[in-house]
Amino acid sequence: MNIAIPTCGKNGLTEEVYGHFGSAPYFTIYNTDTKEISVIDNNNDHHTHGQCTPVDYISEHNVKAVLTCGMGRKAVSLLNDSGIKVYLAGGFTVAEAIKNFDSGNLKELSQDDACSGHGGGH
């Protein structure tokens, strides 16, 4: 299964998880079966709140889950409608977030838990 994680850069497992999904500079894609990592640019990182199109950037990579520190309600809805589950990332790095996902310790993010605007916080 492919997991997408919003990240600050392209350093793979050691990269920092970015604070908010839609404005992340990159998405790190991790395959839980093969343990392979790829990084894609987020070409929509400077968008108006509620206007990002995250599904467009990650769906072509067969992503089934997103691990994030924050995400708006519309993004949660769009991802869920596309069959992609969203989880609150536990951990500072990609490796820590993946470890917490693998151990089943992450909470699934609902629209009620989503961010109401840019600037962080839920």
Taking only the tens place, the pLDDT of each residue in 93-102 is 999 999 999 9
Question: Does residue 67 carry a pLDDT above 80?
Answer: yes
> Which pLDDT band holds residue 103 (cuts at 50, 70, 90)?
very high
Q: pTM of the entire structure?
A: 0.85
Q: Give mean pLDDT, residues 45-71.
A: 74
Percent of the chain with pLDDT over 70: 83
Taking only the tens place, the pLDDT of each residue in 37-50 is 999 998 765 444 44
| Distances in whole angstroms, Cα of residue 56 to Cα of each of 52, 60, 61, 120 | 9, 7, 10, 23
For residue 16, give the nearest of 71, 115, 95, 122 by alpha carbon. 95
Q: What would be the CATH architecture of the domain defined by 2-113?
A: 2-Layer Sandwich (3.30)
| Distances in whole angstroms, Cα of residue 21 to Cα of each of 33, 36, 53 | 24, 21, 11
Residue 20 burial (CB count, 10 A): 21
